[in-house]
Each structure stands twice: as structure tokens, then as C-alpha cells.
Structure 1
Amino acid sequence: MIDTPRRVEAIPSIGHAEAMQLTATENDRLLGQLRSLTAVQWQAPTDCTGWSVRDIAVHLIGSAQGQANPVEFVRQVVAGRRLMPQIDGQHWVDGLNEAQLRARADWTPPMLPDLWERHAASALRARSRMPAPIRALRVLPIGTGLGVDIGWQPVRYLFDMGFTRDVWMHRLDIARAAGVEPELTPDHDGRILADIVAEWSHRHAQPFTLTLTGPAGGTFQAGDDPARPAQTVDAVEFAAIISGRADGPGVLRHKLPL
């Protein structure tokens, strides 16, 4: 059966309530993945330069702690800014990530699934209860990353779906490093990926027809030029390419930090 292309401008944005439902599901999927890892898999290198599977899990737990507690979030940001010269960071998030890992250097893999379960739940509660006026404040200097200028964004950019995208992408990183198949379904992963495609398309504004294969995929179309270039790629590989973990030709040269 031929997949009818979806116009990217018609993809509905993810509102707060739906974002929290997607977050709850994603948190559970990552927990199941972490509980299944062997000692060897925990130490496997990932596509995130210098990070093992263990490091990704520590980063995600540290991030959840910051999401749940504004004081902790600010502490991580401040500590990260101080580390930027040491690590030759290109974006303030580089420093924040490094600060998360250094502060949790004594965490061992057996501790991590339970820590993720506890702190992810706290983060979800805090994000779910965040008032709409706070989420609307345009106070986050997302800035430029991977050559994409995202600029200043409202709090909801991170606290609705940004942090959830981070967990989702890192779950794929872990699966790739561990040599296992990630759990992917159209209603969950397909929805997250369609939202990513919509923002990615909006930011580079180039015409395309893009077929993403696999359970999370679909065919997407942007622009009215009948000669728009067409490409086909696995949905998981697409996420790796546009996030800068791999290279891609044509329209796939455009990136979006994930």
C-alpha cells in the first residue's frame, strides 16, 4: 500500500496535555530498557562523543533532577558555564551536561534504573503542574546549535517536549550502542518523530518529499515545487542524521539539535 504523504504544515503541534502523556510513556520505555542492560552494555560507547551508555543514563537522571527542582536546574546551568572553557564547549548545554556527569561520578550502573524511575516521576509531576503563564515565558536562550539558530524560546519549548525528545533520542542511542532493537510504535514514536519533522522542516524551509521507513515512519512533504527532491531513509537513522550523529545527503544536511 502506498503511504499518502503528510503535509508538514498540517501536522498538529503537541500541546501540554499530550506532551505529558508522551513523556510518561517515554519514561516507562527508557526504564524498561535500562533494566534490561547487561554489565557489558552499560559500558558500551555511544554515538554521543565520549559518552558510554552509563553516561547517557546519568545525564538523563541529572536532567530530570533539574526539571523537578528549579534551584537544581539553575545550579547545573551555573556550574556548566564555569566548565565551558575547560571543555572547549560550543553551547551552554555542553557545560550543563558536563556538570551533570561530574557531580554524579560515583553513580554505578546498578543504581541507575531505580534512580531514573524516581527522578523521572518527580520531573513529570513538576512539568505537568507548571502553570501556563510560566510555560509561556520566552526566557530560554536556546541559541545556535549544529548551525541552527533556534534563538530565545518559551519555557514550554524544553519543559513540554524538548526534554522528552532528549530522552527519546538517547533511548535510540542506547539501543544502537547495546546492539538491541528499540521499542517503536506509530502512536508514540511516530507522533514524536512527526513533531520533530515539522519543526525541522520549518527551520530549514526547503521543499522535499521524505519517506521514513519503520514503525515510527511515514511519508512527509513540504513545498509546492513538483520537482521537490525525494529521499528515503530509516526513521531511526533520520533522527541520528539530523541530530548530528551521522551525515546525510540533500535535505538531510539540515540539522536540528535533539
Structure 2
Amino acid sequence: MTATATTTAKPPPRTSTLDRTTADRLAATEYQRFADLLAGLGADQWRAPTVCPGWDVRAVAAHCLGMAEMIATTPEMVRQNLRATIRSKRRGSAFIDELTALQVEEHADLDGAAIAAAYAAVGPRAARSRARATSLTRRMTMVNEPGDVWTMGYLWETILTRDPWLHRVDITDACGATMVLTPEHDGVLVDDVVGEWAARHGRPFHLELTGAAGGRWSRGAGGPELCFDALDFCRRLSGRAPAEGLLETQVPF
């Protein structure tokens, strides 16, 4: 009797499906739209609770400001990552939780108007920094969670735009505002989310998303017929709203 060893192939690191020109355009536009949203908030709106546990609008904006500042310069990236790593090891907590908490804490003394002004100033710098990232840097890898390895290009070109985009959804929801949506920006972001979601679950489906960021997608024969508002679809995939069936397959934002 002979034993045959079997191995399970590890999936390759996740890469961005967006070309760099498109990714750079989306990044610059999203930083500007987020800045425009913050600039238009009233005093009471900054205190509105969001779907993000423990965070009001001001805290969400402070996190996004800290993230943009981290991306804008290498020294700030090193500083924030080092502080978050130390806190994570000391407390036995997740790195990303410590990083976002740090970003909120370090801007605790800023009121809404100051956060809005700072974000408007740093957003274009963050966009330029991301556009300058080298091919070597983009090929480097990081572990998001066990079994899910990202290239830095995926982080730079995809996640760092999805994050403020979905937080823009959070803020407009919290304030009862209408989110600015266009097919050439938000529609492209949603299309990318749908593509990743479909690749992650790998099953047949027919999907219709409504609204300015929506569209129709289909894969294979059979499968469920799904229809949602485009933003509601993304809320569900992010864990912000209840999900069942294929929508239990989450996509990182």
C-alpha cells in the first residue's frame, strides 16, 4: 500500500483588475467628492451616528483623513504603520483595527470644519502619491487575512478608493443626504466590486443593480435572479446590511 500526498494550491495574490489610468482617475475623483461632501456638512451632521460601530460622522471623516495622510507621504506611512503594529502586538488586536482607531484618536482635537479643510488639502497629495507608486512596489504582497493575500497594487488601486467611497455612503446615509453618483465614476467602482464578488463565489447568477451606479451582469446558466439598489448591494457585501445566499460572499472595501 502506498500513500499519495495531496496538496492544496494556494490562490495567487489578489491583484487589481483596473488599469492604472482608470485607477488613478477614480482615486483623484473620489478624494475630491469626499472633500466636497465634508465641506457641505452642517454642525449637527458631524455628530450624526453612522453604521460603523462607535463612530459618528466626525470619526468616520477623521479615519479617512488619517488614511489619506498616511498615503500622501512615506514618513507618515511608516509612522502610522509602526504605531499601529506596536499597539496590535501589545493588545493582541487586529492591525487594521488599531490603525483606524489611531487615525480617529490623532484627530480628536479637530472639529468638523478643520477636518474638512485638512482633507481637501491632503486628498490631491494622496492621489499623486498613489499614482507615483512603482511597479516593484505594486507587486509586493501583504496578508489581509489568512488565505487572502493582496498585492500592494490591489491595495493602492482598488481598496484605497473603495474605502472612502463606501464611507461616503456611510456619511450620506447618516445625514439623510443624497449621494453624488455618476456612471463614469461610481458605476465603474460598482462594476469592479461585482466582478470581484462574482470571482469570489464562482457560481451562476443574474444581477440587476438600479440607480446611476447600477447595471446588469450575468454568469452561467441558472442561478438566482437578484435585483438591488447599487449602494444597497455594496452595503450588503461589506457586512453593513443583512445578506443571504450569494450576497454572503463579502468583498473588501
Query: Normalised by the size of structure 1, how large is the TM-score?
Result: 0.87
**Contact kept in structure 2, 1:87 and 1:95, CA below 8 Å:** no
* 1:150 aligned partner, one-letter code: D
**Contact kept in structure 2, 1:82 and 1:95, CA below 8 Å:** no
The aligned counterpart of 2:3 is none
Report the Cα distance in structure 1 between the residues aligned to 2:101 and 2:90, rounded to whole angstroms.
10
The aligned counterpart of 2:53 is 49
Give unmatched runs, 5+ long, in structure 1.
1-11
Paired residue for 2:66, among 59, 62, 67? Answer: 62
Give unmatched runs, 5+ long, in structure 2.
1-15
* 1:247 aligned partner, one-letter code: P
Q: What is the number of residues matched between the two proteins?
A: 238
Report the Cα distance in structure 2 between the residues aligned to 1:92 and 1:230, rounded to whole angstroms.
38
**Contact kept in structure 2, 1:77 and 1:96, CA below 8 Å:** yes
Question: Which SS does the other structure have where 1:200 is aligned?
Answer: helix
**Contact kept in structure 2, 1:77 and 1:95, CA below 8 Å:** no
**Contact kept in structure 1, 2:214 and 2:230, CA below 8 Å:** yes
Alpha-carbon displacement from aligned partner over 1:7-43 (angstroms, at most 9, x marks no partner): xxxxx93111111111111111111111111111111
1:114 maps to 2:117: yes
Alignment of 1:139-150 (within 5 A): 140-144=142-146, 149-150=147-148
Q: Which structure: larger Rg?
A: 2
1:194 maps to 2:191: yes
1:102 maps to 2:100: no
Identity %: 34
Question: Which SS does the other structure have where 2:177 is aligned?
Answer: coil
Report the Cα distance in structure 2 between the residues aligned to 1:59 and 1:133, rounded to whole angstroms.
28
Report the Cα distance in structure 1 between the residues aligned to 2:148 and 2:207, rounded to whole angstroms.
23
* 1:31 aligned partner, one-letter code: A
Query: Normalised by the size of structure 2, how large is the TM-score?
Result: 0.88
Question: Which SS does the other structure have where 2:216 is aligned?
Answer: strand
**Contact kept in structure 1, 2:159 and 2:252, CA below 8 Å:** no
Post-superposition shift, 1:117?
A: 1.1
* 1:69 aligned partner, one-letter code: T
The aligned counterpart of 1:249 is 244
The aligned counterpart of 2:5 is none
Paired residue for 1:183, among 180, 183, 199? Answer: 180
Post-superposition shift, 1:77?
A: 2.1
